[in-house]
Amino acid sequence: NAGVTQTPKFQVLKTGQSMTLQCAQDMNHNSMYWYRQDPGMGLRLIYYSASEGTTDKGEVPNGYNVSRLNKREFSLRLESAAPSQTSVYFCASSLNRGFLTEAFFGQGTRLTVV
Protein backbone atom coordinates (compact mmCIF):
# COMPACT_ATOMS: atom_id res chain seq x y z
CA ASN A 1 0.00 0.00 0.00
CA ALA A 2 2.07 2.95 -1.29
CA GLY A 3 -0.19 5.85 -0.24
CA VAL A 4 1.19 9.06 -1.74
CA THR A 5 4.29 8.72 -3.91
CA GLN A 6 6.41 11.67 -5.00
CA THR A 7 9.20 11.69 -7.55
CA PRO A 8 11.97 12.66 -7.56
CA LYS A 9 13.12 12.72 -3.93
CA PHE A 10 16.00 15.11 -4.62
CA GLN A 11 16.71 17.53 -7.44
CA VAL A 12 19.22 20.27 -8.19
CA LEU A 13 18.31 22.79 -10.87
CA LYS A 14 20.08 25.75 -12.37
CA THR A 15 18.29 29.08 -12.38
CA GLY A 16 15.97 29.24 -15.38
CA GLN A 17 15.61 25.50 -15.86
CA SER A 18 12.22 23.85 -15.78
CA MET A 19 11.05 20.66 -14.16
CA THR A 20 7.95 18.78 -13.12
CA LEU A 21 7.38 17.18 -9.74
CA GLN A 22 5.20 14.12 -9.92
CA CYS A 23 2.70 12.91 -7.34
CA ALA A 24 0.44 9.88 -7.38
CA GLN A 25 -1.93 8.44 -4.81
CA ASP A 26 -3.52 5.02 -4.74
CA MET A 27 -6.23 5.66 -2.14
CA ASN A 28 -8.96 6.83 -4.51
CA HIS A 29 -8.89 10.27 -2.90
CA ASN A 30 -10.70 13.17 -4.49
CA SER A 31 -8.54 16.05 -3.28
CA MET A 32 -4.84 16.59 -3.82
CA TYR A 33 -2.50 19.35 -2.67
CA TRP A 34 0.99 20.74 -3.16
CA TYR A 35 2.74 22.41 -0.25
CA ARG A 36 6.20 23.87 0.18
CA GLN A 37 8.06 23.77 3.47
CA ASP A 38 10.71 26.31 4.36
CA PRO A 39 12.62 26.58 7.64
CA GLY A 40 10.63 28.49 10.25
CA MET A 41 7.68 28.94 7.88
CA GLY A 42 5.65 25.79 8.36
CA LEU A 43 3.91 24.46 5.26
CA ARG A 44 2.35 26.80 2.75
CA LEU A 45 -0.18 25.74 0.14
CA ILE A 46 0.84 26.27 -3.47
CA TYR A 47 -2.07 24.75 -5.38
CA TYR A 48 -4.78 22.25 -4.74
CA SER A 49 -7.25 20.18 -6.71
CA ALA A 50 -10.59 19.51 -5.07
CA SER A 51 -11.53 16.95 -7.71
CA GLU A 52 -10.39 15.61 -11.04
CA GLY A 53 -10.43 18.39 -13.59
CA THR A 54 -10.26 21.30 -11.14
CA THR A 55 -7.35 23.23 -9.69
CA ASP A 56 -7.16 26.31 -7.49
CA LYS A 57 -4.43 28.60 -6.26
CA GLY A 58 -3.27 28.47 -2.72
CA GLU A 59 -1.24 30.91 -0.67
CA VAL A 60 1.96 30.94 -2.77
CA PRO A 61 1.15 30.03 -6.42
CA ASN A 62 3.48 32.41 -8.25
CA GLY A 63 6.08 30.64 -10.38
CA TYR A 64 4.22 27.33 -10.40
CA ASN A 65 1.68 25.52 -12.54
CA VAL A 66 -0.20 22.32 -11.84
CA SER A 67 -2.00 19.60 -13.73
CA ARG A 68 -4.52 17.13 -12.36
CA LEU A 69 -3.81 14.47 -14.94
CA ASN A 70 -6.42 12.05 -13.62
CA LYS A 71 -7.81 11.12 -10.24
CA ARG A 72 -4.53 9.55 -9.14
CA GLU A 73 -1.95 12.06 -10.36
CA PHE A 74 -1.26 15.72 -9.60
CA SER A 75 1.90 17.30 -10.97
CA LEU A 76 3.65 20.56 -10.10
CA ARG A 77 5.68 22.38 -12.74
CA LEU A 78 8.34 25.03 -12.33
CA GLU A 79 8.64 26.75 -15.71
CA SER A 80 11.73 28.87 -14.90
CA ALA A 81 13.26 27.93 -11.58
CA ALA A 82 14.52 30.64 -9.24
CA PRO A 83 16.67 30.34 -6.10
CA SER A 84 13.62 31.44 -4.05
CA GLN A 85 12.00 28.15 -5.04
CA THR A 86 14.60 26.15 -3.15
CA SER A 87 12.44 24.26 -0.70
CA VAL A 88 11.00 20.91 0.28
CA TYR A 89 7.82 20.16 -1.63
CA PHE A 90 5.09 17.91 -0.26
CA CYS A 91 2.16 16.42 -2.06
CA ALA A 92 -0.87 15.38 -0.02
CA SER A 93 -4.27 13.87 -0.66
CA SER A 94 -7.53 13.53 1.22
CA LEU A 95 -10.82 11.83 0.55
CA ASN A 96 -12.75 15.09 0.60
CA ARG A 97 -12.01 18.73 0.13
CA GLY A 98 -11.06 20.76 3.15
CA PHE A 99 -9.32 17.97 4.99
CA LEU A 100 -12.55 16.86 6.56
CA THR A 101 -10.97 13.49 6.54
CA GLU A 102 -7.40 12.51 7.21
CA ALA A 103 -4.81 13.93 4.85
CA PHE A 104 -1.92 11.75 3.73
CA PHE A 105 1.43 13.24 2.80
CA GLY A 106 4.17 12.01 0.52
CA GLN A 107 7.79 11.81 1.61
CA GLY A 108 8.72 15.11 0.01
CA THR A 109 10.95 16.38 -2.80
CA ARG A 110 13.99 18.37 -1.75
CA LEU A 111 14.67 20.92 -4.49
CA THR A 112 17.73 23.14 -4.69
CA VAL A 113 17.96 25.90 -7.29
CA VAL A 114 21.47 27.27 -7.83
Partner 1 sequence: AQSVTQPDIHITVSEGASLELRCNYSYGATPYLFWYVQSPGQGLQLLLKYFSGDTLVQGIKGFEAEFKRSQSSFNLRKPSVHWSDAAEYFCAVEGGQGNLIFGKGTKLSVKP
* DSSP-derived secondary structure letter, 53: T
Q: Give least dist CB 8 to partner 1, A.
A: 15
Between 19 and 103, CB nearer to partner 1: 103
Q: Give least dist CB 80 to partner 1, A.
A: 26
38's CB contacts (< 8 A; 6+ apart) are 44, 87, 88
Task: State the Cα–Cα distance between residues 74 and 43, nearest whole angstrom.
Answer: 18
Torsion of CA 96, 71, 54, 83, to 10 degrees: 100
Reported residue count of the chain is 114
**Contact residues for partner 1, defined by CB under 8 A:** 4, 31, 33, 40-45, 48, 50, 56, 58-59, 90, 92, 97-100, 102-103, 105-108
Between 7 and 17, CB nearer to partner 1: 7
Between 79 and 102, CB nearer to partner 1: 102
Between 37 and 75, CB nearer to partner 1: 37
At 84, give phi and psi (nearest 5°): -65, -10
